[in-house]
Amino acid sequence: MEISNLTKNRIKEYLNKGTRFDGRELTEFRDISIETGISNKAEGSARVKIGKTEVLAGVKMSISEPYADGPEDGTMMVTVELLPLSSPNYELGPPKFKAIELGRITDRGIRHSGFIDFKKLCIEEGKKVWTIFIDIYSINDNGNLVDASAIAAVAALRDAKIPVINEETGRVKFGEWTEERLPLVMEKNPINITFSKIGNSIIIDPISEEEDSAESRVSVGLITYDKKVMISSIQNGEPTEFGIDELGKIFDKAEEMYLKLGKDVNNKIEEAIKRNNKK
């Protein structure tokens, strides 16, 4: 969306005073709510809302041949669709760059976190492995789809059950699931936190107007490894000149935020799965 310079300037003025349009601190997330099991044909699914931003994620699985460089590794594919339903700015048609980039960032955040134990997704070495499709759809875009997508992907993965294999055909028996969950390494607890730079300020969880005013951004994927917070993926966007000190501060802030946000999101997913199991 093209927002007016007037709005941009006003946002900057606010940020210089340390406030935002919605009254949040510069590095404060909006309320996050998580629901799982929102689509019963999926192996796993989730709805994540961050403020007014809403995304849905679903996990589907099929059996396929492994890649030559990983004969014992399961495979994964993440797609993000920016539905025209979710914003007046999105149009029908093949995925535009923003959707492709979102899918890529979410993919890397999950893949390189070690959250999925791909070795355990091998059915027959060199011949058959599980492929996990994670499809994410925007339902209402009010900024920060990138962090919402990552949370939704994790929640849907945690909700997922492995489908039954038809012994005769060697293919998935659609609509039937085992009680087995995906091989996930829970303690990794991957989270994505995106920092946006507007003027001299660095903020997180931008609403749409802030996102459109941002000169640049950097997405930091974080995990817990050996009880320490580690950065497992990074991607910056838009032409940027980040100072080394500035980046250093971002990494520190990311670690600090992860400790709280990671726990918070983890608890919310756990509660969502419990609620869903009771149904």
Partner 1 sequence: MADNIYTKRLDGRKMDELRKMSAEVGVIPNADGSATFSFGSTVAIAAVYGPKPLHPQHLQNPKKGIIRCNYDLLSFSVTERKRPGPSRRSQEISRIIEWALEPVLGLDEFPGTVIDVHLMIIQADASTRCAAINAAAIALAHAGVPMKDLVSSVSIGKLDKQLVVDVSKEEEDYHEGEGATDIAMTFMSNSDKVLALQLDGKITPEGLKEAVKLGRKATKEVHNLQVKVLKEYLEKTGGGD
The pair phi, psi for residue 67, each rounded to 5°, is: -70, 155
In whole angstroms, how large is the CA radius of gyration of the chain?
A: 19
Does 263 interact with partner 1 (rule: CB under 8 A)? no
Does 45 interact with partner 1 (rule: CB under 8 A)? yes
Does 58 interact with partner 1 (rule: CB under 8 A)? yes
Does 133 interact with partner 1 (rule: CB under 8 A)? yes
Structure tokens at 157: 């993965």
Q: Cα torsion at 13, 197, 136, 184 (round to 10°)?
A: -130
Helices (H), the chain: 5-16, 97-111, 145-159, 208-213, 244-278
Q: Of 32 and 223, which CB lies nearer to partner 1 in the complex structure?
A: 32
Q: Of 23 and 175, which CB lies nearer to partner 1 in the complex structure?
A: 175
Does 159 interact with partner 1 (rule: CB under 8 A)? no
Q: Of 1 and 259, which CB lies nearer to partner 1 in the complex structure?
A: 1
The pair phi, psi for residue 256, each rounded to 5°, is: -60, -45
Interface with partner 1 (CB under 8 A), residue from 36, 75, 142, 201: 142
Does 3 interact with partner 1 (rule: CB under 8 A)? no
Does 56 interact with partner 1 (rule: CB under 8 A)? yes
Question: Rounded to whole angstroms, how far apart are CA atoms 121 and 24?
Answer: 42
Closest approach, Cβ 222 to partner 1, in A, equals 27
Q: Nearest-CA neighbor of 102 among 67, 152, 29, 61? A: 152
Closest approach, Cβ 38 to partner 1, in A, equals 7
CA distances from 88 to 59, 80, 85, 207, 213 (A): 27, 17, 8, 15, 18
Interface with partner 1 (CB under 8 A), residue from 137, 193, 206, 273: 137
Closest approach, Cβ 8 to partner 1, in A, equals 20
Question: Rounded to whole angstroms, how far apart are CA atoms 103 and 78?
Answer: 6
Three-class SS of 187-226: HHCCEEEEEEEECCEEEECCCHHHHHHCCEEEEEEEEEEC
Region near partner 1 per CB under 8 A, out of 20-28, 51-59, 122-130, 184-192: 51-59
Question: Rounded to whole angstroms, how far apart are CA atoms 256 and 245?
Answer: 17
Does 21 interact with partner 1 (rule: CB under 8 A)? no
* Cβ pair 103, 80 in contact under 8 A: yes
**Interaction mask 166-205, partner 1, x per CB under 8 A:** --------xx------------------------------
**Interaction mask 72-111, partner 1, x per CB under 8 A:** -------x-x-xxxxxx---x-x-----------------
Kindly list the residues in this chain that would bind partner 1 in the complex (CB under 8 A): 38-43, 45, 52, 54, 56, 58-60, 62, 79, 81, 83-88, 92, 94, 133, 135, 137, 139-142, 174-175
